[in-house]
Structure 1
């Protein structure tokens, strides 16, 4: 599929709020499931953590980002941490320059393993986004990827839900994941 064809299709789908969101990674179109209640609560919890610890930054939800250098991918992370006002002049798909961290919360759809654990870390690292945070509800842990070099994050640190995870610079704060323990027991809604 050509990038231009994907962007036209994604724009058409975005006009319908009840429709899933489309992404383009590794030259293939994928569907990102619409969030459920627990997923949304986790993103809001992280937003509050970012606001409290780094008030000069904003965690933008569902912000389209241009990723990958070779295939010119398009991703919609659950969160993109950047200086407040960073996306004011960007279009539907923003350049990754200036994005400090992207966040994904795993969903219960069929391709979340490939997309969130393989494709997106590669795409984000290839785009030189300094930090990728994966909140993995299946394995009940949080992984921070950092130091992207040649399309691969060189550092990776994982803690189980309930532990504190230091987020490296340029994010630079500790994330207490205790609230995630109770939420993962809830059925998605």
Structure 2
């Protein structure tokens, strides 16, 4: 068992060091999933519009000690996963350390993923599973390609690697974000693909 743990720690350190040194094309993100580094293409304009609307809504209701960030490396080291959520809310003192060091996903207050055609499946499954295992207390999935139409789902109450609660609404309906946010997120301005 101890040998396996050391090998796993060494593999994760190697992956993390490689991730830090990558020079991805501008706008692209690199994430780690299943022991592999993956390139994620830049988001489209509609994706960015949604991210900006959520960002503004959150900033209006947060204290100065908490920040909303894009492109922040977020690791779940024991699962050898590293994601870069579209938006993440975290205490800004956690960013005072080493440059380009990912933060631990368990320190996140809210992770937001906005699907694209190429990432929808991973956002709905692997990231949902990973965030629940971290555990990230709130995961907001903006699913532009859901069937029968675009939806917003808030996952909460993670326990034993699964979220205990979820609220799903179609674009246009508000979704309640509990404390520390305590806001009703208006989705009526989210562009439909």
In the superposition, the TM-score normalised over structure 2's length comes to: 0.83
Please give the alpha-carbon distance, in whole angstroms, between the structure 2 residues aligned to 1:7 and 1:98. 18
Q: 1:128 to 1:90 in 2, by over 3 A?
A: farther
Kindly state the Cα deviation for residue 123 of structure 1 after the two structures are TM-superposed: 0.7
Please give the alpha-carbon distance, in whole angstroms, between the structure 2 residues aligned to 1:136 and 1:114. 10
Query: Counterpart in 2 of 1:167?
Result: 177
Please give the alpha-carbon distance, in whole angstroms, between the structure 2 residues aligned to 1:68 and 1:10. 13
May I ask how many residue pairs the two structures share in their alignment? 179
Please give the alpha-carbon distance, in whole angstroms, between the structure 1 residues aligned to 2:53 and 2:73. 21
RMSD, aligned α-carbons: 2.1
Please give the alpha-carbon distance, in whole angstroms, between the structure 2 residues aligned to 1:171 and 1:32. 29
Query: Counterpart in 2 of 1:46?
Result: 54
Please give the alpha-carbon distance, in whole angstroms, between the structure 2 residues aligned to 1:121 and 1:52. 27
Q: 1:151 to 1:28 in 2, by over 3 A?
A: farther
Kindly state the Cα deviation for residue 66 of structure 1 after the two structures are TM-superposed: 1.1
Partner SS, residue 136 of structure 2: coil
Partner SS, residue 24 of structure 1: strand
Q: Is the Cα–Cα contact under 8 Å of residues 23 and 76 in structure 1 kept in the other structure? A: yes
Mapped pair 1:6 → 2:15? yes
Kindly state the Cα deviation for residue 48 of structure 1 after the two structures are TM-superposed: 0.4
Q: Is the Cα–Cα contact under 8 Å of residues 26 and 119 in structure 1 kept in the other structure? A: no
Q: Deviations over 1:45-78 (max 9, x none)?
A: 1110001122433211010011263x23111111
Q: Which has the larger radius of gyration?
A: 2
Please give the alpha-carbon distance, in whole angstroms, between the structure 1 residues aligned to 2:188 and 2:102. 33
Q: Is the Cα–Cα contact under 8 Å of residues 132 and 146 in structure 1 kept in the other structure? A: yes
Query: Counterpart in 2 of 1:149?
Result: 159
Query: Counterpart in 1 of 2:85?
Result: 77
Mapped pair 1:88 → 2:96? yes
Q: Is the Cα–Cα contact under 8 Å of residues 146 and 168 in structure 1 kept in the other structure? A: no
